[in-house]
A and B are shown apart, each in its own frame.
Chain A
Amino acid sequence: MRMKSLTRRNVLAAALASASFFAATASYAATTVTVWCWDKNFNGATMKEAGDRYTKAHPDVTINVVDFAKADLEQKLQAQLASGTTDGLPDIVLIEDYGAQKYLQSFTKAFEPLSDTGKIDYKGFADYKVALATLNGKTYSLPFDSGDSALFYRSDYLAQAGYKAEDLNNITWDKLIEIGKAVEAKTGHKLLDIDLNDTGLLRIMMQSAGTWYFTPDGKSAIDSPAFKTVLTQYAKLLQSGIYMPVSGWADYTGGFTSGKVAGTVTGVWIVGTIKANADQSGKWGIAPTPRVGDIKESVNASNLGGSSWYVLSSAKSKDAAVDFLGTIWGKDKDFYQKILIGQGALGTLLAAREGDAYKASDAFFGGAPVWQNFSNWLAKIPGINYGTFTNEADAAVAAQLPGLAKGGSVDDAVKAIDAQLKQQMQ
C-alpha cells in the first residue's frame, strides 16, 4: 500500500526537495563574493586584506578579487548593464565618485540600495561621500577612499628657492604662481607639470569654492560667475609658464617622481606613487590645497577622484556581500589602519581617524603628521553634487585648454564650453 501512495508526483517532489537541499548546502559551503576593482596594488590590495579578515571569521565565504584596467572595468560594466543580462556580473564593483550618479540614474535597479539593509551606519562616514551615492533618499555605496587634495612638493627645491613649509600654508593660487616663478629662477625647475588633456586641477579649484559644472538641480552652470572666475584663475595658471606640459599618466607622474618638476597638486592617493621612490625620503613636503583668491567661499581644502564600493542587485551572494562590506569596511578601525600603512589608502570612516596609524608622523615627508593633516582637510571639503554629465563637461573644457594656455579669451572659451556641453546634455 505504501508503494501506491508514492505517486509519480510525490517522487518528483521528493527528488526536487533532496536536490535543492544538496544544492543549498553546496552553495552555502562555497559562497563566493566576486569583486571588480582596478588597481592590484591599491584598491585591489585593500580588498584582499578586507577579504582575508572577513574569511577568518567566515571560513565558508571566499572573496574573489578580479582587477581590470580602470577604463576597461567601466566599459565592461557599462556594456553588461546595457545588455540587460546579469550573467557574469560581479557581486561588488568599485566605481569612481564622479561617475556614481551616471550609473545610478542610467541603470536604475541595477544597484542595491545599501541603506535599506540597515547594516551600514552612514553617520559614521564623511558626509560628502554619502551624498555622492544617494539618489531619491536611498544610499547605494559603501564609501571607500577619499580624494582629499593637497600640494605635494619637493621641500629641498623650495628651500633652495628660500621657501619654508609655513610659506606654503593656506595660500592662494596667485601666491603659488609667484612662488613657482621664484622656484624656476633659483633652481631651474618648473613648479608643476600639467596635462592639457586632463581637467583635474580645474576640478580641484571648483570644489574648493563649492562650485561645479552644474547647478544643484543638474543644469549647466558654465555661464555662472563662479565658473568664469575659476576658469579665469586656471587660465592665469596656464599662461604663467610655471609648469611643464606633459601628456598622459606616465609622463605626468614621471615629471615629479624623477625630480624634473618640484611638485604637483592632486589627490591623497598619489602618496603611494611618490613614496615608491625611497631615495627621495625626507625631500618631500605636503601643504594644503591653494584656494581661489577671488572667490570668498573658496577654502584651502578640496578633492580629486576617490571611489566607493557598490553591490549589484543581481548579485548571487548578495547577503554575504552586504554583510562583508558592513562588517569590515563599515566598522573595522584596525583594518583602516592597516590599509593606510600598507597602501596609503585614506578611508572615509570617521572613527578610523582615532587609530594609531592616523596619528603617526612620516619621515618621508619630513616628519610631518601627514594623516592628521589630511583628516583635518577632509572635514573642510565642500560637498558637491557631481551630477551625471561631468565627463561631458570635462571633454568640453579640455577642448579649450590649449587655446587658453596660448592666451585665448576666457569669455570665448566659456561660450564654446557652454555650447558644446548643452549640445551633449541630451
Chain B
Amino acid sequence: MRNGLVHKIGVNAALAIASFVSVFPFFWLMVGATNTSAEILRGKTSVGGALSNNFQHLTEQVSLLTLFYNSSKISIIATVLTLIVASLAGYGFEIFKTRWSERVFAALLAMLSIPFAALMIPLFVTMAEVHLINTHAAVILPSIASIFVIFYFRQASKSFPGELRDAARVDGLKEWQIFLHVYVPVMRSTYAAATIIVFMANWNNYLWPLIVLQTNETKTVTLAVASLLTAYTPDYGVVMVATTLATLPTLIIFFALQRQFVQGLLGSVK
C-alpha cells in the first residue's frame, strides 16, 4: 500500500511538472495580450491594462467577424467530410485487405511523405483550371482525402473486434450497416481524437490557403495573424490578442470532446 502511495505521488508530481511546462507559454500569451508592445519587449510578465486597447486596435485592422466566419466554415466542412471519407477508407483498407489494396496503401504512405512545397504549384494550376482560385472550396477539396487520417483510422481499426462484425453479419446486416451501426459507435474515442486533430489541422492550415486565397474577404484567421506579425513595427500586444483568440476554437473542441476519452469502449457497446 505504501508503495502505491509513493507511486501515486511520483506520477502526480511528474504530471504537474509536464503540465506546468506545457501551460507556461500559454499563460505568457494571455498575459502578453494585456500588455503594450513596448512592455512585452521589455519582458514584463505581470498582467497589464492594455487588453481593451489591444483588442480595439485589432478590430480596427481586421474584420474579426469575417475572419472567424471563413475559418469556421472551412474547418467545420472539411472536418466533417474528412472524417466520413477517411474513416470509410481506413476501415476498407483494414477489413477488406487484399494484395492490391495493400500495395495501394503502401503507395499512399509514400505520397504522404512528399513535401507540400513540391506539390503546391501544380495544385494551383489544377485549381485555376476548374476556376476555384480564391474560393473556400479550393482550400477544402484537397484536404478531405487526408492520407494521414486514413492511416490513423486504419491503425485504429486493428482493434475493432472481429467477433462484433461476424455477429452482425450473422444477424444479416449489410456491410454499410455494420460500418454505420457497429463500427462508428464502437470507435467513438477514435472519432473524437480524429475530430480534434483534423479540426486543428484545418484551423491552423497555412501554406495552401495562403497561396489560393487572394482577398481580405476570403482570408482566414491564421493568415491574418501572420500578416500582423511581419510589419516593420509589429504591435506585439495586438498579435497576442489575435493569437489568443485564434487558439480558442480548437481548445473549445478539445474540451467538448475529451469526455469521449474517459468513456471507454465497453461503455459505448452497452
Contacts and interface: CB of A to CB of B under 8 A. Distances in A.
Interface in A259-283: 269-270, 272-273, 276-277
Given A66-B216, A250-B236, A258-B42, A79 B211 contact: yes
B227 interface: yes
B37 to A, nearest CB: 8
Interface residues of B, number: 31
Contacts of A257: 38, 41
Nearest to B231: A39
Interface stretch (B19-27, B77-85, B121-129, B150-158): B121-129
A71 B234 contact: no
A66 B214 contact: yes
Sorting the interface of chain A by its residue count into under 10, 10 to 19, 20 to 34 or 35 or more gives 35 or more
Contacts of A249: 230, 234
A250 B226 CA distance: 14
B17 to A, nearest CB: 27
B211 A80 contact: yes
Contact of A69 (B121, B131, B215, B229): B229
Contacts of B255: none
B33 to A, nearest CB: 16
Given A83-B128, A88-B133, A72 B227 contact: yes
B149 to A, nearest CB: 26
B236 A67 contact: no
Contacts of B226: 68-69, 72
Given A40-B61, A66-B216, A250-B236, A79 B121 contact: yes
A228 interface: no
Nearest to B230: A69
A76 interface: yes
Contacts of B229: 69
A41 interface: yes
Contact of B120 (A39, A70, A79, A88): A79
Nearest to B212: A88
Nearest to A65: B216
A335 to B, nearest CB: 20
B128 A42 contact: no
B134 A41 contact: no
A68 B227 contact: yes
A75 B210 contact: yes
Interface of B: 37-38, 41-42, 61, 120-122, 124-125, 128, 131, 133-134, 210-212, 214-216, 223, 226-234, 236
Interface of A: 34, 38-42, 64, 66-72, 75-76, 79-80, 82-85, 87-88, 90, 249-250, 253-254, 257-258, 269-270, 272-273, 276-277
16 contacts: A38-B230, A39-B232, A40-B231, A42-B231, A42-B232, A67-B227, A79-B211, A80-B211, A84-B125, A85-B128, A87-B133, A88-B134, A249-B230, A254-B42, A276-B37, A276-B38
Query: What are the 10 tightest A-B residue pairs by CB atom distance, in nearest-first order?
Result: A254-B41, A85-B128, A69-B230, A273-B233, A88-B133, A87-B128, A83-B124, A39-B231, A87-B133, A88-B214
